[in-house]
């Protein structure tokens, strides 16, 4: 009961943050004008193509995760891994970062693999994603520095919040307190059964994290890592051709919009709602200053693109939830027979 209440509160808090950002971004938007643009001024062929690129990225992430899991000496079925990945994305729409736990739980249940080891592999994946985001950011900075600088100059609250995350005294004190607590507890309770269980869990976690050293097919793993992020980029850039006002923007503009939108997705809100829109709209305004009705058109772009991507996650994620028991019907029947 307490867990459900806590999750409900988390959902409401994160949703309120996203909804507030969304409302601030669209509060003075003319609804009829927005609806007219969405109905008449969007070439949805390019939107569908962007979703295809998104699906390719999810398949590639599935294969890459399997490569990590196989380094643990396990070989999960690709269908289970794919369904778990999609359920994970679906779960992130309820609570940020809930998807990582959900997909590990699914593979642990259906493939009988240590949950903590799986979490270790997912943490490793997230580290690699951060590295790739930094790489794309560096490319954008080296080629489009003035545009990014103008964005932060026009939105000082964004740079202020990012700075506070890394320079806040509370962040430093929290890290010190956690480190001290772990050290003290380890020394005092290292011989208790409870601590040994935690220690074993941490060991399993580190085993999962260290799988990168054991990967036999390193080049496919690296290529999938790059491919995933190239597909992410194309998901954004290809949508430029859906709208007349963005169709002539160069590929590097798409790169900058993608990088800024990625930071919006990192925000602690469900599916980047509000934050993603704010970052995309703000970046397009920098690229197209003085264009008539540009703010309204940029809002339409953000709404359509994010809406399409979210709809795909909802549809494929919900179908994956339904498909999991059917895909593992034999295993479930065998488990019941053994019980």
Hunting for tokens 């079925």 — which residue is that? 77
Alpha-carbon span 297 to 159, nearest angstrom:
25
In a domain, residue 13? The reply is: no
Specify if 147 maps to a domain: yes
Question: 175-209 pLDDT, tens per residue?
Answer: 566 566 656 656 555 555 555 555 555 565 566 55
* Residue 22 within any structural domain of the chain: no
Q: Is residue 331 part of a domain?
A: no
The number of folded domains in the chain is 1
14 in a structural domain: no
Closest CA to 100 of 108, 109, 91: 91
The DSSP symbol for 270 reads G
> What mean pLDDT comes out for the span 36-57?
93
State whether residue 95 is helix, strand or coil. coil
Span 41-69, average pLDDT: 95
Q: How far is CA 89 from the centre of its chain?
A: 7
pLDDT digits (tens, 9 = 90+) for 100-119: 889 999 999 999 998 888 98
Torsion of the alpha carbons at 151, 157, 158 and 160, rounded to the nearest 10 = 120
Asked whether the predicted pLDDT for residue 164 surpasses 70, the reply is: no
pLDDT in tens, 263-300: 888 776 777 788 888 889 888 888 887 677 888 888 99
Q: Is 95 a domain residue?
A: yes
pLDDT category, 84, cuts 50, 70, 90? Answer: very high
Sorted by sequence, the CB contacts under 8 Å of residue 95 that are 6+ apart come out as: 7, 10, 11, 14, 270
Q: What is the per-residue pLDDT for 144?
A: 82
Mean pLDDT of 82-109: 89
Domain of residue 226 covers 43-326
Is residue 33 situated within a structural domain?
A: no
**Residues whose CB is less than 8 angstroms from the CB of residue 23 and which lie 6 or more positions away in sequence, other chains included:** 274
Say if 232 falls within a structural domain: yes
What is the model's pTM? Answer: 0.79
């Amino acid at each position: 009961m307490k867990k459900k209440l806590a999750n409900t509160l988390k959902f409401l808090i994160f949703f309120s943050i996203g909804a507030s950002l969304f409302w601030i971004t669209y509060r003075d938007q003319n609804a009829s004008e927005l609806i007219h643009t969405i109905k008449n001024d969007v070439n949805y062929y390019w939107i569908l193509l962007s979703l295809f690129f998104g699906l390719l990225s999810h398949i590639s992430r599935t294969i890459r995760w399997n490569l990590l899991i196989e380094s643990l000496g396990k070989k999960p079925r690709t269908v289970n891994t794919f369904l778990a990945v999609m359920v994970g994305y679906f779960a992130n729409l309820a609570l940020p970062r809930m998807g990582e736990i959900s997909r590990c739980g699914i593979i642990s249940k259906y493939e009988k693999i240590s949950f903590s080891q799986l979490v270790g592999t997912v943490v490793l994946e997230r580290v690699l994603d951060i590295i790739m985001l930094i790489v794309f950011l560096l490319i954008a900075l080296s080629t489009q520095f003035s545009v990014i600088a103008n964005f932060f100059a026009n939105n000082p609250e964004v740079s202020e919040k990012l700075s506070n995350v890394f320079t806040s005294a509370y962040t430093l004190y929290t890290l010190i307190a956690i480190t001290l607590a772990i050290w003290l507890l380890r020394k005092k309770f290292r011989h208790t059964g409870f601590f040994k269980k935690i220690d074993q869990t941490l060991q399993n976690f580190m085993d999962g994290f260290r799988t990168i050293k054991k990967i036999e097919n390193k080049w496919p793993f690296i290529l999938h890592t790059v491919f995933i992020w190239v597909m992410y980029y194309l998901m954004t850039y290809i949508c430029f051709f859906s709208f007349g006002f963005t169709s002539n923007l160069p590929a590097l503009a798409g790169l900058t919009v993608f990088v800024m939108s990625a930071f919006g997705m990192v925000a602690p809100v469900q599916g980047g709602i509000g934050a993603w829109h704010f970052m995309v709209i703000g970046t397009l305004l920098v690229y197209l200053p003085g264009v008539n009705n540009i703010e309204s058109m940029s809002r339409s772009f953000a709404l359509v693109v994010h809406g399409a991507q979210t709809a795909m996650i909802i549809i494929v994620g919900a179908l994956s939830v339904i498909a999991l028991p059917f895909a593992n019907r034999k295993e479930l029947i065998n488990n019941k027979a053994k019980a």
